[in-house]
Structures are given as structure tokens and as C-alpha cells.
Structure 1
Amino acid sequence: MKLNDITIKDIAERANVSKSTVSRVLNDLAIVNPKTRKTVLEAAESLGYQANVFARGLASGRSMTVGVVTQKIGSPFYDMMMQGVIQGFTGTGYSPIFVDGQWEQSTELDVIRTLMGRKVDGLILLGGDISQKDLDQLREQIPTVVVGKDVAGWEGQCVYVDNFSGAYDATQHLIEFGHREIAIVRGIIHHQDAIRRFQGYAQALADASIELDPDLVLDGNFTAQSGIIAVNSLLMRGKSFTAVFCANDMVAYGARLALQRKGIRVPEDVSIVGFDDQAESSYVSPPLTTVRQPGVEMGVVAAEGIVQLMQGGTCEFPVMNAELQRRESVARITSQ
């Protein structure tokens, strides 16, 4: 007998019960005597029965799938969050469908529409840049959790770290090591993460009575290439700086490469700090001082939370800590 040919009738005959009893057990639709339930499940397992999830979904009105919109498939940080989502769904019966928003608002909206056309039961948005209006409308149509953003009015449906405090701690660490000329390569200028990280940087400078120099503020887009371009711009303008705070680790990798190409040593000549703590950051040369976002943990709690929402419950997410990881890419300034 082929596995796909096994039916409820076969299981009923093996377990010596009615087909309706088998249906109730397999679909968990009613209370069944524990002994009978065990007999049915053992019979199904012995026959190698595999539930037709699609058919079950048609009957129950659920697809047992959740759409997960990431922003860059292949990005180490987003990969960590996706791995966490997979872990969080383990044992729940739900399966994630991953799509890529590519950091483009129109693309993100398009892939969300595609997912909803496939009748997913819920949505997890990893990062992203769609408007507050679109988010609010989306939430009215389908259970939704946002990861990596603090959205106004979405208390209990957002998983995020304190980007302000993380950036503040990173900048303060550089200041404690004697740095005063600290450049920053920001992320996408209107992205909330980038805004909060810049605010943390600016506040740390202010608290140390260091005037913010607009010439040391450079725009990036969370890519390594933007780190290269930003550092090259500083060097071409002859702008003096002893440290660079980068919007994320990818930008830091690019900044380090640009310095290395010009014969500028890290950290002996210029110190670098990143944000995210990607797995590679412990092993680059020199190992990167960075702010750790718990990407895997964020994905896990997002998956657990969306399951609660889809089942008619509520969820509460604590603000997750962004912890500074001190490594060898920062050196102390002994003299100016």
C-alpha cells in the first residue's frame, strides 16, 4: 500500500473503530476516550499515515501556514531570526513560508498580498518599512507580529531590542577609551532602527559634552558597500576621526576593508564598533566589538506569539536587551 493511499477507512479497520472516531482523533475535534485515542494513533502510525494538511485546512478554515516576510534572504542577521522562527513553530503544526521584501516598501506589500492570497493564517514581518497606515490595516485583516520595530499602538505585537540604549552603550564605550572624533555610518535614514541608533549615539556624545560634528555623520543603507563608501568619503575629505560607529556589522565590515585598503590599521589607528553581533563578527580580524541583538531568540518568541494570536489569545513581548560585546576592534587613545 502506498503511503499516500492510506485513508481514514484503513485506520478505522486497523483500530476496529468507526471512521468518525478516527476523524475526531486525527482532527482533534472532540473529546475521545484516551484509550481509544491511543489505539487510533498507534494504528495510524503503524500504517505510516501522513495527514493531508491542505485538506485538513480546507475543512477547518486554516492553512496551518504563516507568512514570514524577511528583508534580505542571505543576510546573516535575518538568517538568525528565520532560524528562530523555525524553532518557534516546532511542534505547533504550523509551517512558515518565507518571502523577501528586499528593503523595498512596494516589494514588501506585493509579497504580503501574495501570502494572503495563499490564505496564510498569520504574518510575521521581520524588519521592513511599510507605513503605519498599511500596518494598521493589515492587522485588521490577519493576525500579525512585527519583529525589529517598535510600532506605535502595537503594544504586545512587536518584538524589538532597545536600539537607543545599544547605540548609547557602544558610543560611550568609545568615549571611555578616549575617543572624541567619532564618526557614524547610519542605516537607511528613515528606518526606525537607524533613527534610534543615531539618537543613542548623539545622546552619548551630549552626555560627555562632545559636540556632534555633522561632517562625521554619514548615511548608509545597512550594506557593506555603504561602509566602504562612507569611510572613503571621510578619507577623501581629509576629515579627522579616530573611531567609527557603524549601523550594523555589515557596514562595519565594509568600513574596515576601506581602512585596510588605505593602510590604516584597526584598531591601532581607527577603532570600529558594529551592531547585531553576526556569527562572523567573532572571527573577523580583528574580532569586532559590536552590540548583540538576540536574533534567534527574537524569531522564537515571534513564532510563539503569532501562534497565540491565531488561536484567539494575546501575547506580550518584553523589550529585548541589546548587549555590547567588547572585542579587539576598539583600542584606547593614549594621546590626542
Structure 2
Amino acid sequence: MAGRKATITDIAARAGVSKATVSRVLTGNAVVAPDKRDAVLTAMAELSYRPNLMAKGLAWGRTFTVGVLTPDLASPLYGLIMAGVEAELHGLGYQALFASGAFHTETERRALEHLVQRQADALIVLGGRLPGADLLAVTGDLPLVTVLRAGPGKLAITLDNHYGARLATEHLISLGHKEIAHITGESGQPDTEERLHGYRDTMTAAGLTPRTIPGGYHEDDGRRATHRLLDNGIRCTALVAANDQVAMGARLALSERGLRVPEDVSLVGFDDLPSVRYAVPPLTTIRQPAREMGQAAARAVLGLLDGAEVQPPGFTAELVVRASTAPPGRDGY
């Protein structure tokens, strides 16, 4: 065998089976007796045989790739979801093919078309701005799972953002806060609207006045929004941020204005990114299980590929209390 790669003929001779049996083990499209299957696998290991993935793909009619469209490859939140997708797919013999929509509708469309043209077997779409009808028009009959966005007629893995924002606001109210402001996420995004409504509904139900200011999804958005709050004289003893990144920007702005967290202003984020437990002080936040959602998306899309009846798993927002929240001290700002 020195000097050349092992072939199916070599595997069959070593295992004492026919080439057809070896082929059935490699493709997995027919039942093989356990003893013969074990003999083939042992022979493959002894001869350092690596199956030809292109040939396997032709046999199965698949490329064994799943296209994953994300709004931002550098996003901490979407990064966790992508890591979950990749880990789960790899464990099941598939490869993830990533593309970014860059938070731009036409860029998302082109990236999605590219994934389809690369003959991905199925697609996972994280968030994004592309309308549902356009998403279906591009993806056609390909198995599709969406994460953190409502599914356009297909399977969606989501979190109840309204409930998460309610948990955050109720936590601050339970501590005795009455002047609670909310820095919103990016305008026009469903999760932004859901979190805003969760905050407003909770404040109104408690007989308190909502105080909101436009923000975004990134640290700079939180920093700028908090400075606008201060400059506009909007008083509060607590802040609910659109997400953890916004909360970190707000934390910096408060420090720049001589305000302490939580002694002067309590602060709550949303997402529970790994980094926020190391913030100063560690951030109270709403956890959404991003990596687990990615793993669930991978399992779901492979289930769709196999023609299974797949039900979207349920994920629940969870309040994680850390040191950035406390009962109101002085009069806030």
C-alpha cells in the first residue's frame, strides 16, 4: 500500500466483504450486518482510508454543508449562536458555510443567494432584515430554520423578548425603583419593539411613567444614548438597556459623568454575554441561551433534511442577578 491511497477494493479485500458492502457502509443508504460493518470500519482504520466526500455527496444527493446567514460575523451574540451551530453540525458530519448580511437588506439577499448557489443542503438564518416573503423566494424548497426572528412559514427558534424585558423591569421595581429608563435597540427590528413593549407594559401596570430614548445594538449606541439622557435631564435611578453591549456603553457614559453603578444608577442588560460577568460591577442581565439555540437550529435543520416532523424547541428568558443592580440610593440623576 505504500505510495498510493487505499481504495474501496483494498477495503473489501482486507475486510473480507464485497465492494458493494463497503459502498453501503460508506453511503449509509442500506442496512449492513453489524459484523460486516465493523469489519469494514476496522479495515478503513488500518488502511488510513478517507472517504471521498464528493463521491459520497453524489451518492446521497447532498453536499453535507449547511448555509448560515448572520447579520454580523463579529457580533458576540450571533457568534455564540454560530458556535453552537458549527459544533452540532460537525458532530453529525456536516460543515457550516457562513455568510454575513452586514445588517443590510440587499447584502443579506446577495449573501443568501450565494449560499444557495454553493448548493448548501439547507439554510439557517439568524435575525436579519430581509422580509419573510423575500427570504422564501430566495430559499425556495430548501429546508430553512430561522433563529431570533419569526419564521416566514417555516421553522423558527425564538425567545420571548417581551417576557425578558418584563423580567428586567420587574426586578428593578422590586428593588424599589420608580424612575426607570429604557435605552431601545435598533429602530424597526422586531426584538427592539418586543423589548420596548415589555418594558412599557410593565411600567404602566405598576403605575409608573415609561422613559425611553433611542439607542441601538452596540456599545457606542449605549454610550451616546446615556449622554443624551443626561443632557436632556431625563431623571432615573435605573436603566434597562436593549442588550449587554448597550449596557456596557451606558456604564462607560455614567462613569464619564461621575455616576456610580449601582450606587447612583442600577443597570440591566439583555443576552448574558460571557464577558459581562467580568464587568465592573458584574452585570445583571436577561439570559438567552444563544449557543443552545444554535445547537437546536442545527439539529432542527438536519431533521428537516431527513424528512422528520420537527417541532421548534422552547427557550425561556431568565433573569441573572449580579452586582449592577441594588435598591435606589440617592436621587439617581
Shift of 1:32: 2.3
Distance verdict in 2 for CA 1:202–1:134, change over 3 Å? same
Q: What is the identity, as a one-letter code, of the residue corresponding to 1:178?
A: G
Over 3 Å counting, the alpha-carbon distance change for 1:263 and 1:334 in structure 2 is: closer
Q: Do structure 1's residue 332 and structure 2's residue 327 form an aligned pair?
A: yes
SS at the partner of 1:253? helix
**Secondary structure of 2:46's aligned partner:** helix
Moved more, 28-37 or 217-226: 28-37
Q: For residue 171 of structure 1, what is the amino acid of its counterpart? A: T
Question: What TM-score, normalized by structure 2, do the two folds share?
Answer: 0.94
How far residue 298 of structure 1 moved from its aligned partner, in angstroms, is: 0.5
1-structure distance, mates of 2:3, 2:150:
47
User: Paired residue for 1:193, among 186, 191, 194?
Assistant: 191
Deviation at 1:277, TM superposition (A): 0.4
1:236 to 231, 235, 241: 231
Counterpart mapping for 1:286-305 below 5 A: 286-305=281-300
CA distance in 2: counterparts of 1:28 and 1:115, whole angstroms: 26
Q: How does 1:156-175 map to 2 (within 5 A)?
A: 157-175=155-173
2:17 is the alignment partner of 1:22: no
2:207 maps to: 209
Cα drift, residue 101 of structure 1 = 1.9
Name the stretch that deviates more: 1-10 or 249-258: 1-10
Query: Please, which runs of 5 or more residues in structure 1 have no aligned partner?
Result: none
- CA offset digits 1:90-114 (Å, max 9, x no partner): 4322111122222222221111111
Percent identical residues:
42
Give, as a single letter, the amino acid of the residue that structure 1 aligns with 2:275.
E
Question: Which secondary structure state, in structure 2, belongs to the residue aligned with residue 63 of structure 1?
Answer: coil
**Higher mean C-alpha deviation, range 178-187 or range 296-305:** 178-187
- Structure 2 partner of 1:308: 303
Tell me if structure 2 keeps the 8 A contact 1:4–1:49. no
SS in 2 for 1:5: coil
The one-letter amino acid of 2:285's match is T
- What residue in structure 1 maps to residue 127 of structure 2? 127
Residues 120-144 of structure 1, C-alpha deviations (whole Å, 9 max, x = no match): 0001112212102123334542100
SS at 2:68 equivalent: strand
Amino acid at match of 1:330: T
Per-residue deviation, 1:302: 0.8
Residue aligning to 2:33: 33
Output the CA distance in 2 between the equivalents of 1:22 and 1:335.
76
Larger CA deviation: 288-297 vs 88-97: 88-97
Tell me the secondary structure at the aligned position of residue 183 of structure 1: strand
Q: How does 1:35-74 map to 2 (within 5 A)?
A: 35-74=35-74
Q: Deviation of residue 270 (structure 1)? A: 1.2
Q: Quick check: 180-189 or 220-229, which moved more?
A: 180-189
Q: How far apart are residue 71 of structure 1 and its match?
A: 2.1
Measure, in 1, the Cα distance between the counterparts of 2:46 and 2:5.
14
1:334 CA displacement = 5.3
CA distance in 2, matches of 1:131, 1:242: 38
Aligned mates of 1:27, 1:332 — CA distance in 2: 63
Query: What are structure 2's unaligned runs of at least 5 residues?
Result: none
- 1:182-225 Cα shifts (integer Å, max 9, x gaps): 2211111111111110010001011101133xxx3222221111
Query: Offset at 1:76?
Result: 1.9
The within-5 A match list for 1:135-284 is 135-138=135-138, 140-151=140-151, 153-154=153-154, 157-212=155-210, 216-284=211-279
Secondary structure in 1 matching 2:194: helix
Number of the residue aligned with 1:77: 77
What's 1:6 paired with?
6
User: What is the RMSD of the two structures over their aligned residues, measured on CA atoms?
Assistant: 1.8
For 1:60 and 1:3, the matched residues in 2 are separated by 30
Residue correspondences, number: 331
Q: SS of the counterpart of 1:146?
A: strand
Q: Report deviation, 1:322.
A: 0.4
SS in 2 for 1:120: coil
Distance 1:319 1:44 in 2: 41
Q: Tell me which moved more, 224-233 or 9-18.
A: 9-18
After superposing on structure 2, the runs of 4+ consecutive aligned residues of structure 1 that deviate more than 3 Å are 1-4, 151-154
How far, CA to CA, are the matches of 1:71 and 1:13 in structure 2? 51
Rounded to whole Å, the distance in 1 between the matches of 2:84 and 2:163 is: 24
Q: Name the SS for the 2:302 alignment partner.
A: helix
Question: What one-letter code is carried by the residue in structure 2 that aligns with 1:283?
Answer: Y
Q: Is the 8 A contact 2:133 2:152 kept in 1?
A: no
Tell me if the contact between 2:162 and 2:194 (Cα under 8 Å) persists in the aligned partners. yes
Name the stretch that deviates more: 78-87 or 244-253: 78-87
